[in-house]
Structure 1
Amino acid sequence: HVNTASAALLARVSGLSSTVAENIVVYRDHNGGFRSRRELLKVPRLGEKTFEQCAGFLRIADGDQPLDASSVHPEAYPLVERIVNGCGRGLKQVIGDASFLRGIKPEQFTDDRFGVPTVRDILRELEKPGRDPRP
């Protein structure tokens, strides 16, 4: 959780150096908690490439974007929007509705960027957002 993690813990996140991790904590201390993952781009020395590497590992609970509390990476948010729009339900209605999500066919939402395995992973994350997939 980016709003509570120490600089030492943040430095262990993919793409974050100890300097950028410290900058996140300093930014947070001066500006309050992050409301969205995109706000991380305001942190000094945290550019687009670093953001792409780290954002999916940094959680923001109770933020502006419900997906920011999940492991879904921001570059996959448009895919989630397609899934939600294709189902005719709102994002907040879909998150956590395991029986509904298990009925979705991943093949319907693949494209040249996201294949069936990625869509399956995203659907599993939407079932139980924030779960740790490590054994």
Structure 2
Amino acid sequence: FDLSLRSAVSIARRLQDPLAELVKIEPKAVGVGQYQHDVQPKRLEESLHGVVESCVNVVGVDLNTASASLLQYVAGLKSAVAKNVVAWRDEHGKFSRRDQLKKIPRLGAQTYIQCAGFIRLPDGVNPLENTPVHPESYELA
């Protein structure tokens, strides 16, 4: 496509879901100020990674639209498991309940407990699926 069309699509995607687009950028490519080159690259990358992870976990992630690159920032999910989540979704369709995550290969009970509160399902069976309320607390909520 023409450069102007690609630019327009890029801007539109950033407006639709800024966090999903941010995680696609290498942390070192994000301009953080004129002194970023004075910081050790490894420490800068670790710090930026921590900030992005914190933002992702505060905002939450729509399980049915998130890419693997976004899911890997959710607490407990590593790159391989994030890819397994996307592969499962591609094969079986949309998630309707958080507990369906337990069917994902290499996503064990502890990982489920860690990540479930940061996952959102706007069209979930239970309205609490789209909140930060952890599934263990549904009955109480």
Letter in 2 for 1:50: T
Within the candidate set 98, 107, 132, 1:71 is matched to 132
Which consecutive residues of structure 1, in runs of 5 or more, have no partner in the other structure?
Answer: 81-135
Query: For each residue in 1:57-105, what CA deviation from the matched residue of structure 2 results, as whole angstroms up to 9, or x when unmatched?
Result: 010111111111111011111211xxxxxxxxxxxxxxxxxxxxxxxxx
SS of corresponding position for 1:79? coil
Equivalenced residues, count: 80
Give the alignment's TM-score, normalised by structure 2.
0.56
Q: Which amino acid aligns with 1:7?
A: A
The residue type equivalent to 2:114 in the other structure is Q
Shift of 1:25: 0.1
- AA at the equivalent of 1:3: N
Residue aligned with 1:22, SS: helix
Aligned match of 1:32 in 70, 93, 100? 93
- Structure 1 runs of 4+ with >3 Å offset: none
Matches within 5 A, 1:84-123: none
Secondary structure of residue in 2 paired with 1:13: coil
1:94 is aligned to none
TM (norm. structure 1) is: 0.58
- Quick one: distance in 2 between partners of 1:65 and 1:38? 11
Deviation at 1:18, TM superposition (A): 0.4
Q: Whole-Å Cα distance in 2 between the matches of residues 31 and 57 of structure 1? A: 21
Name the SS for the 2:139 alignment partner.
helix
- In structure 2, the gaps of 5 or more residues are 1-61
Task: Report deviation, 1:20.
Answer: 0.5
User: 2: distance between equivalents of 1:32 and 1:78?
Assistant: 27
Q: Percent of pairs identical after alignment?
A: 54
RMSD over aligned Cα atoms: 0.6
